[in-house]
Structure 1
Amino acid sequence: MKRQIIDTIEGYDTIIIHRHVRPDPDAYGSQIGLKELISLNYPNKKVLATGNHDSTLDFLAQPENVTDEDFQDALIIVTDTANTERIDDDRYKLGKYVIKIDHHPNDDTYGDLLWVDTNASSVSEMICELFEEAKAYKGWKMDKVVARLLFAGIVGDTGRFMFQSTTLQTMKYAGDLLSYEFNRTDLFNGMYEMDRNLLHLKGYVYENFEMDENGIGFVKLTKEILQKYNVAESEASLLVGSLAEVKGMKSWVFFIEDIKEIRVRLRSKGPVINTIAKKYGGGGHPLASGASVKTWEEADQVIEDLKKAVN
């Protein structure tokens, strides 16, 4: 499979790489890391990364402005995106051939060539695996720009190596990437430093979350609360992991209201919760999933579903 992907990459002059909407470090790490990796090894190819930029990821990189003409006869690679509804920039349909590289459950088998590994901690880890194969097969090389992006993706999706998805292979690849000597301090500052407004909202979360006797927790962040703290929905999403620090917490859900809907962010320390996300039109990993609802009544039903799933 990996060699087939490498051969396909070699066969196209233009390659456009997509990832999911509302990106996180693994989305950028795998997408733009792969873009930089291909560009490094095939400098005569036109390799582009597309999608709406999230300013919270300024410290990592930015996608390009891709025109409709760029898609003509292009190879499309979609990273870290489980289903077509979540692909950022639906012009992927204009390409000639589509490769899916992902580590979520393969519920939507889109694309002409699929490489899905649900045992991988992140798609950034999978790109490391692809590089190792290409290095042996075609003599590919890597530099610190690529290494920094892939390392950020691995760190982000493993929760700084604390999640159960972290394996011996994950740590090996992370160690290999560190040999390229990029500035880890600057990278971690970009990933984990918070503006004062967001820290104040984090304090609100700690003061106002609810948890029942079975370790099921939730917090509701309405538009009014976000406006009070002057925090955008995308920034508030960075706080979802904060309730993992609460002793006795088994599973929890963040509700974050924006203009059109209420974002649902489900997390768990053990019980499988992605089935709940799927019920509400979302999906994700067994212990980290997302969805959306339209009303606070639906949000309350999500809480009840979470309680039933864990109990």
Structure 2
Amino acid sequence: MTIDRIINILMKSNKIFVTFHQSPDGDSLGSSLALINGLRSINKNIFIVSKEAIPENFSFLSLSNEIDGNLKEIPSNADCLVTLDCGNVERLNCDVKLDNRNFIVINIDHHLSNDYYGDINYVDTKAASVGEIIYRILTEMKIDIDTKIAECIYTSILTDTGSFRHSNTTYNTHLIAGELINTGLDFSSVHRKIFDNKKIEIIKLQGLVIDSLYTNDSKDICIMKLTEDMLSKVGVKECDSADLISIGLKIVSVEIAILLKETEDGVKVSLRSKNYVDVRKVAEKFGGGGHIRAAGLKLDAPIEEVEKILLKELEKELI
């Protein structure tokens, strides 16, 4: 069984490193920190590798200070690299070459579009979050799930299920959440720290995005833009796009929401759907990926051009 193999390698490894996808979210961060907290509790040498620092709204998680963007490469003396919540090598948040290496790669994910690039691949597409898989691994290792670990896993589940409202939420999701709450976890506090802890500049930024959003002629697609000019106007450098794109789905007639995020090296696109459109299929056409109802991609083109291309492609899905 794959989980048994994963546990066997983790127990034999002296130096373990963990990484996740670029622009990390609550699932990638929560599952990674849960694994690190859990393995350190049994005295394993495990470290996080990331080119980016942790977003401020997740800084309450235990050991989050170690995601500071300083350790970017996998050391030559590594025994094992665990990649979490990342479907392909190109999106890994570290500098790594998978050829000519001495360490084992364990690829743990829940995306259908995963490339199976690891020596061991555990891809459970029925899991609502990678946090659920990490919970399973830690419990099978008989590691005590204390409130610190519970907080990390709950963050993973909470964010990837949209507070348990997305269609990926299952009976097992709620079962695990219940077990985490039984540890003494203050789940209301976790929710507040993630969702109700915004700076005034971010709220003003949301206002700019809302003011500029529009729908297509049939009103079933909502298009939103987050430009560098908007960020500059409110005085922030970065913003969690998940909060913004959910606004578009609140419009009664909308089936698909698009958020176009302008960056220095292209346009990052987030796609969400409510009921029936498979946005992952559209994302994959442009080298992206994700889930049926939530996907993303990146295009190196002006934002106006990306807008036209994607709007045309998504309207085909609504015919």
TM-score (norm 2): 0.90
1:112-131, CA deviations, whole angstroms, 9 ceiling, x for partnerless residues?
Answer: 00000111100001111222
- Alpha-carbon separation, structure 2, partners of 1:33 and 1:239: 27
1:261 is matched with: 266
Which residue is equivalent to 2:132? 125
Letter of the 2:186 counterpart: N
Over the matched positions of the two proteins, sequence identity in percent amounts to 27
8 Å contact kept, 1:233–1:258: no
Name the counterpart of 1:23.
Answer: 24
Change (3 A) 1:63 1:86: farther
Which residue in the other structure is 1:13 paired with?
Answer: 14
**1:223-242 superposed matches below 5 A:** 223-242=228-247
Q: Are 1:71 and 1:95, in contact at CA under 8 Å, matched by a contact in 2? A: yes
1:199 to 191, 200, 203: 203
1:166-223 deviations in Å (ceiling 9; x for gaps): 0000000011011122333432222112111111222233333112325111112222
Q: Tell me what 2:164 maps to.
A: 161
Rate the CA distance shift 1:3–1:69 in 2: closer, same or farther, 3 A: closer
Please give the secondary structure, in 2, of the residue aligned with 1:111: coil
Mark the CA change 1:183 to 1:92 in structure 2 (over 3 Å): closer, same or farther: farther
Q: Which structure 2 residues correspond to residues 141-160 of structure 1 after superposition, within 5 A?
A: 141-160=144-163
The 2-side partners of 1:310 and 1:63 are apart by: 44
SS, match of residue 46 in structure 2: strand
Is 2:295 the counterpart of 1:282? no
Select between 217-226 and 181-190 the one with higher mean Cα deviation.
Answer: 181-190
Distance in 2 (CA, whole Å) between partners of 1:81 and 1:287 is 17
> Are the structure 2 counterparts of residues 238 and 232 from structure 1 closer, same or farther at C-alpha, using a change threshold of 3 Å?
farther
- For 1:244 and 1:67, how far apart are their aligned partners in 2? 36
Task: In structure 2, give the amino acid aligned to 1:85.
Answer: E
- Provide structure 2 residue ranges, at least 5 long, that are not aligned to the other structure: none
Distance 2:151 2:97 in 1: 26
Q: Does 1:208 align with 2:212?
A: yes
Secondary structure at the counterpart of residue 171 of structure 1: helix
Q: What's the offset of the Cα at 1:228?
A: 1.2
Change (3 A) 1:92 1:127: farther
Kindly indicate whether the alpha-carbon contact (under 8 Å) linking 2:222 and 2:254 is maintained by their aligned counterparts in 1.
yes
| Alpha-carbon distance between aligned partners in 2 of 1:264 and 1:67, rounded to the nearest angstrom | 25
Which of 301, 310, 313 does residue 302 from structure 1 map onto?
310
Contact 2:107 2:122 in 1 (8 A): yes
- SS of match in other structure, 1:245: coil
Check whether the contact 1:79–1:101 (CA below 8 A) recurs between aligned residues.
Answer: yes
> Counterpart of 1:84?
89
Structure with the higher helix share, 1 or 2? 1
Please say if residues 224 and 260 of structure 2, whose CA atoms lie closer than 8 Å, have aligned partners that are also in contact.
yes
> Matches of 1:102 and 1:129 in 2, distance apart?
13
Structure 2 residue aligned with 1:47: 46
* Cα deviation, residue 236, structure 1: 4.5
Matched residue type, 1:303: L
User: For the residues of structure 1 that align with 2:72 and 2:220, how far apart are their CA atoms?
Assistant: 49
Which stretch has the larger CA shift, 106-115 or 48-57? 48-57
Whether the 8 Å CA contact 2:34–2:149 is kept in 1: the answer is yes
Secondary structure (helix, strand or coil) at the match of 2:30 reads helix
Q: Which amino acid aligns with 1:46?
A: N
Distance 2:73 2:294 in 1: 34
- The count of corresponding residues between Structure 1 and Structure 2 is 305
Moved more, 81-90 or 101-110: 101-110
3-state SS of the aligned residue for 2:249?
A: helix
- Residue 123 of structure 2 aligns with which residue? 116
